[in-house]
Structure 1
Amino acid sequence: MANSDRIAVLLICLQLLPSGFLGHAAALMDSPLPSRPFRLGSVIAVRLGNTRSCVSGYGNGHAGAPVFRFCIPSWVAFSDDGAALVGEAAKDHAAANPQAAVFGFKRLLGKTFGHEDVQRESFPYKIVYKETSSTGTGIQVAKKQLLHVEDVAAMVLAELKCRAEAFLGHKVHYAVLTVPSYFRDASRLAAFDAVTSAGLEPVRIIDEPTAAALAHGLHENEITKNVLVLHVGGGTAEATVLVHEDGVFEAIGTWHDAHLGGDDFDRRTANHFLQLIREKHSVDIGNDTAKLWKLRAECERAKKELSDRDVARVSVNSIVDGVDLFEPLTRAKFEELNHDLFGRIMSVVDKAMVGSELAEKKELVDEIVLVGGSSRMPRIQELISDYFGGRQVRIGTAAVEPDEAVVHGGALLSHPTAGGYECLGGERRQFGASTDLC
């Protein structure tokens, strides 16, 4: 296919995009277009999350090459000398110096400084007005660093790119980008900019619920028509009802809560132990940042342990004047402490079902897919199953963990012989609209 023909195809595809994408995506015509299908290992999939971000792709060689996946904390921190730390190193640094760390910035992507969602956010770092930002929203860290939100996101994506390249043994220039279905044009553009700033050219943008459906192979099942995808991550819960027609997934109902996820369960559980410490030792450690950080980290670990067992231990050395905290936490107590949070998750599901006009026709939902690390909680699985009359739910696969499903679905779009999903076929090159039509 001649380069002029590829450009003509690109122009047709660009017409399917939200109008905001045109200026950014059209600039890609100035660079040589990669051949389709892509060579194995030449494209990676990236997902920017509130708490964890992931990269996935195929190794070099043949079509049966192994799929790799790496996830890191979505954290950026700055040492005293101004050096940037990303991922695990940033989160570890934040334990000692929370004011020098940035997290949860995905919520800020593409939102103006005056947006009500931005004004209501509460972080150890400051959200400030920045003239050079397209949205006016900037981040100030430790009274020194003044950054664009997109630049912070780019640091995380660049680290993922680096890890993928280390695994592959060569440079990578192209990426499939996954974004939440609730992202507006401005947020999609901001994510697009972050990817390009990280040194990658986005060749595809796909909604996360669709990527989750692909990861479970639902695009290969002609019988499947309606799919409910519930994504419960560390900071956000999103439910989307997809309809699969003519080989394409399209969202017909979606709802999300931008402040509901695993972090909220950790804080609620930590507050329980703070009260226990007050009662036992007459000491309030709520203002001791270091001790509070350790307690929340331990509560997060215990929460994960309770996904597979009925009792976990919460243990923190020298929590009060040399006295160690060593207390049991049962699954029943954890679910009691977080009863209202589970209810809020079910409210997100119900509102998505109402939007799809299937709330009174739940039997028409053919598949129920749970993704995101927090979907491992047994109570969430039980509630979803009960909501659909005891139906079985899909959570992860033999090869893919639920918190890696979205990025794995994105990686499938980089596989030249994956097939099955119409948007992969032929010589199409499209970036994807909110409905993912092509």
Structure 2
Amino acid sequence: MPDNRWFISYLMSSMASGITNPMIPLFVVVYLHSNVFFVGLASAVSSAASVPALIFWGDLSDSVSKRKIFVLIGFFGAFVSFLPVVFVRDIYQYLAILIAFQVVAMASVPVSTIMLLEQNDRSVWPQIISKFSMTSGIGSVLGLGLGTALITFYYRPSALPYVYIVSSMIYLIAGIMALKFIHEPSRNLNRNAIPANTFRVIERTRYFPTAVIHFMRLNGKNNGHRLDRNLVMFIAMTAFLMFGFQIFFVPYPVMVINFGANNTLIFLMYMFNSAFSTVSFIFSGRIVERIGGKTALFLAVTARIIIFGLSALIPGITSRDIAIISAVGIYSFLGGIWSIISVSQTNYVSRNATQQTRGKAIGLYNSLLGVGQIFGGLVSGEVTTLFGYSADYLMASTVITIGMIIILKIYRGEKLFTARSRPSI
């Protein structure tokens, strides 16, 4: 029986990541007294650093056929990278810390799930991946809960850097647990031969998945197998949707801060969003199977189109309390929609790729989602600064409407509101 006690180390790392999830808008606006443009810049820079780091560490781990050392680099590196945050006095020093963190922390991501599969029989892969994903999602919610408690107890802007220090200490604990419980797998698997999906249980404003099986390779070799043009277009449009999502999500917490919401409320808003996402992930697979991936994706994205558009009315609400309650409620509810979008998209990619190209397809999907997040962060800060929050939300709604129309045209194998006849892989 495989020893899966090392799950605890990833639970701790998810807690450490969760506790800092709301920190970019709080640190930039409340602690550094900057504005929404730099919130978008910080989000984009953080994402931009993590995408090539993910590819580099994943490629290197496969080349040397080692796993544990990269987990240790990720956890202990994250611990060290956050320590200088107490000395940060301007936005550029803060950006440097975010970049350093992403570069080292990504080392633990591409080895986690592949290590999990290498230690377990193929017959239990779906169950063990689901268990691992839920463990990570729960860790994020617990981290946000801990952050909420800390920020409530120490309610001062000057205390915000110490949230990163607490996160750093949790990463240290995760590293110690990994050192104790993780053993190098006795076999090595080829990622491209793994017929598994990659889900993001929690949607983040930064590109920081907890686990990724497939990623784009540095050498670019495809062994003569090319992705279907329709599939490439679909993946490109999922990135376009993510671009639209980020246009909305990145400046949204800044708006709530500007309404007068305190640090505790911002943490609660993120925690409710993550909790809804984690819980809905349990049911999203069955929903997609029951009504079909195309219908599920259409309904989930349409819900976001409507909500994003209605959110443009929030800045005009004259009552501060009603505005804050509305904003927090909307942000929380949106978390529950993400799991359906993620499962629908990944199922389509996996189902329409061949066995030889599935790894490459999922890798392209992961990478382009990161690209969508990068550009969404950059554009959102600029648009909000120039034209305001309402214009930004309407732009986000328009972008994902265009993306959804194109996806409906290229989506094959199903008709809208007709469940598909064959199960996903």
TM-score by length of 2: 0.28
Say which one has the larger Rg: 1
- More strand as a share of residues: 1
TM-score by length of 1: 0.27
- More helix as a share of residues: 2
Structure with the bigger RCO (C-alpha within 8 Å, sep 6+) is 2
